[in-house]
Chain A
Amino acid sequence: MTRSASWSWETGSRTLADLGELRAVHREVHEPAVSPDGERLGVVVVRGDGAFAVAENGELWEPELERAWHLRYTPDGRLTALVRIDDMWTVAVDGEPWQRRFPFVWNTGFSADGRVIAAQVKEGMEYTLCVDGQLWDRSFLSLRSYALSADGRRAAALVQVEELAEADTEKFAQGTWSVAVDGEPWEQRFIGLWSPAISPDGEMVAVQARTDRFEYTIAVNGVPWESRFACVWEPSFRPGGAGPLAPARVGSTWRLMEEGEQLWATSFVQLWHLRFSPAGERAAAVVAPEWGRFTVAVDDRPWGCTFGDAVLPPVFSPDGKRVAATVGHRRRWTVAVDGQVWEESFDMAWMPVLGPGRGPVLAKVQRGGEYGLAVDGRLLSQRYELLWDPVLSPEGDKVLLRGVQGGKYVRRVVPTGELR
């Protein structure tokens, strides 16, 4: 059962918060966030000098905060914020600050089910990771980014493990970076590391690794692939698969590699943003078949249409049969589905949302400063001051719309057949 099955899918509208009222009462009202199920809207408000608060559906959190920002809902619907209290920072979850306070904390991340919350932390003059309020045992000279496993039991971060004096280019070239998994760094050192990824079973950690000044590869659990490349992009794991896949640059073209071996036969001018169908049987990536033209390739077959500005990461339908992506061409944005481009274009388009079967494809779009919902390429007449991505019900027969109209936040459930 998907998480959204437990949400209310009763058709109709409910007004859950009034931003206008908040603006009338508070000095400032910042950008709101909305829970995945649409039941709650959280927003930072400023009540006076150094007096911040978080309002959720109009109700203020206690206590008052010196600062609050970076409101994010977890996938299971808890509201997190980065908050400053008594000149120290921490993470607050549903109004409860973690007990530990830090000189600085940032970049909250969540497990897929939302139960585990992590954040980067500065402690003393060093850096570490905090998972559900518990610090890793070790801290590091720097910690640049991290990944959580889907279940949140494993965490991997890029860490600087060797001191580097100012302008010490020699030592840098020997490798000063490693990957810490659950706080313990690999023995191996690298010149550069990027984009850690954890396998679905939590057993493997893969990263882009710079092994020499101009040699790159993918390192898995500390062991680099035997092959070396002119450059690589982020590794990712296929659901149900074995080792990671990653784009690699060979000569002046890019290829898709699996465990160091070429997977797709075609080489591209560019290849990035590899994505898999939910069951893992299909793969899609953004590719440039020729210089200056981008499209999506699905299982090594590029779509017939190409775009000049950009193609954003592709997304599969839940059954893995359809692929869609936001595409930009001549400074206009729209959506392409299985190689068919929507006729209407917009000032901006967000990631398309696909349901099971042949149901409609939806996307939040922006035109003339207003937000709207586009369905199969047609912009519906309703306009919003703010709008979040639509959510399709598990059966795909209803859509959850979360938007602000006239200063009021409205949660609306509409049968997909009535979208017009």
Chain B
Amino acid sequence: MADLADMQVVDKGLEKAVAGLSEERIQEVIGSVLSQAVAGRLKLYLQTCVHCGLCAEACHTYVSRDKDPDFAPVAKVKDTLAVMLKKKGRVDAEFMKNAARVAFVECGGCRRCSMYCPFGIDIATMIMTVRRICSLLGVVPQYIQDTTNSHSATSNQMWVQPDDWIDTLIWQEEDAQLELPGLRIPLDKEGADVLYSVIAPEPKVMAQLIANMAVVMNVAGIDWTMSSADGWDNSNMAMFSGDLEIMGRIERVHWERALELRVKRMVMGECGHAYRGAVYDGPKWLGWQGPPLPMIHAVELYYDILREGRIEIVDKLTEPVTIQDPCNIVRGSGLHEKLRYVVAALCDNVVEMSPNHEHNYCCAAGGGVINCGPPWKLSRLKSIKVKAQQLGRTGASLCITPCHNCHHGIEDIIGHYQLHMRTSFILELLVKQMKMPEGVRG
């Protein structure tokens, strides 16, 4: 049965929204979403499912929750979208509140279940459709809605004011110059080869990562720039809160900034969901087949500059290290081999998780789940026991997490399950272990 503790969580975003929600309004919204082109595909998915249970075994929530059938992907659909379709939208507010809990907290859209479905049923798409319905009704967990509001008001995820952003870039450049004299973070440089974009938590709480990337870009001799204007943030929680209009708007800002600056390609920092938003979901909503310029994930950048010898690794870690495969860049985009090439360059003792590569379990933080905030943290951590077990079996003392959500999700797992391990972005290792120009580092 479902976890009673989860069902008793008080989330202001859900409680207040359902209080004033009429059944007529719910039916109207569900009808508007399910009467469109998606309805046929969703019905086909539901009719095709033979209840084989392979999706259940694929789901970290189900496996972590002692194989409680209520947490199986098929159950999540059965308890939400299938009822909406069967009842033609005639469901009540309490149903929608529960549907929101299931869709926002119990599934992060990691798509592992879809990979194991013998019929290729895209369960994540069905869950995202539930989120869209919830969003149109305003039934969205408070914290991810707040993040979406920030995207709407500021074009970035964390209410970063424009002056704070620019000041951070200047400050990080000055800091990085202590490491590498003459280093620059060129701002708004037209015609540069690369525009580098980050997610808003970097200037807000992890500004050192910007200085680190500046060191890498400068040593590798890349013609790069960063934007002082909106468009610098590549994150997109609106994509996960179901607010597709804001999702499209901020992806437009992001890509048009690159086009204004006439750069040749965009490189983004170590983030998984942002890659999905910038490469797939955002362009599609805007009418593009794909991104208007090439988008290079940081893992690909590191791979390229290591292979080309533009940076050289002089120190390698000898401690046991494991690798988290972020869903959106591995299952979603096949970067696992490049990721291993980069990690192998930095670490001598890599202990793989099992399963790994595209079969790896999600961190349970992605897909907007961690952004649902403190009310749901315990639930999220209960749903990811399997990852704690995976990590523990490696005996590694370091988990490399080339994704912000993975990074924080696994930090939470380490704390909750008391694993003797720490996390690191690749970039943090790279700047410590790469060869600096002659005379720079004593």
Contacts and interface: CB of A to CB of B under 8 A. Distances in A.
Given A270-B286, A292-B287, A107 B293 contact: no
B208 to A, nearest CB: 21
Contacts of B245: 214, 216, 230-231, 249
A196 to B, nearest CB: 14
B287 A269 contact: yes
B264 A348 contact: yes
A70 B289 contact: no
A104 interface: yes
A358 interface: no
A168 B230 CA distance: 23
A117 B147 CA distance: 34
Contacts of B243: 213-214
B187 interface: yes
Contacts of A230: 245
Interface residues of A, number: 56
Contacts of A145: 230
Contacts of A371: 191
B145 interface: yes
A170 B184 CA distance: 42
A168 B159 CA distance: 13
Nearest to B289: A292
A312 B256 CA distance: 9
Nearest to A252: B36
Contacts of A312: 259
A337 to B, nearest CB: 19
Nearest to B245: A231
A219 to B, nearest CB: 16
Given A231-B248, A270-B287, A177 B153 contact: yes
A371 B264 CA distance: 14
A142 B135 CA distance: 26
Interface stretch (B163-171, B341-349, B384-392, B433-441): B163-171
B383 interface: no
B41 interface: no
Contact of A192 (B12, B145, B152): B152
Nearest to A67: B170
Given A106-B162, A310-B288, A328-B292, A70 B182 contact: no
A347 interface: yes
A366 B228 contact: no
A291 B289 contact: yes
B16 A170 contact: yes
Nearest to B170: A67
B422 interface: no
B292 A31 contact: no
A160 B146 contact: no
A158 B146 CA distance: 20
Interface stretch (B136-144, B197-205, B209-217): B136-144
Nearest to B145: A169
A316 interface: no
Interface string B123-150: 0000000000001101000110110010
A169 B149 contact: yes
Nearest to B140: A169
Nearest to A268: B287
A194 B154 CA distance: 10
B16 to A, nearest CB: 6
Contacts of A166: 146
A172 B149 contact: yes
Nearest to A168: B146
Contact of B186 (A31, A103, A168, A350): A31
A294 B188 CA distance: 26
Interface in B236-287: 243, 245, 248-249, 252, 259, 262, 264, 286-287
A231 B286 CA distance: 12
A350 B262 contact: yes
B262 A348 contact: yes
B229 interface: yes
Contacts of B289: 291-292, 308
A107 B229 contact: yes
Contacts of B292: 309-310, 328
B179 to A, nearest CB: 15
B228 A106 contact: yes
A128 to B, nearest CB: 12
B294 interface: yes
Contacts of A104: 163, 166-167
A361 interface: no
Contacts of B146: 166-169, 172
Contacts of B229: 107
Contacts of A144: 153-154, 162, 230
A120 interface: yes
Contact of B166 (A106, A252, A288): A106
A186 interface: no
Contacts of B382: none
A154 B243 CA distance: 34
Contacts of A331: 294
B161 interface: yes
A292 B288 contact: yes
Contacts of B259: 310, 312
Interface string B1-22: 0000000000011001000000
A69 interface: yes
A344 interface: no
Interface of A: 27-28, 30-31, 67, 69-70, 103-104, 106-107, 120, 122, 127, 142, 144-145, 160, 166-170, 172-173, 176-177, 191-192, 194, 210, 213-214, 216, 230-231, 249, 252, 269-270, 272, 288, 291-292, 294, 308-310, 312, 328, 331, 347-348, 350, 366, 371
Cβ-closest 5 pairs across A and B: A292-B289, A270-B287, A310-B292, A104-B163, A288-B287
13 contacts: A31-B189, A69-B170, A122-B161, A142-B153, A169-B13, A169-B145, A169-B146, A214-B243, A230-B245, A231-B248, A270-B286, A270-B287, A328-B293
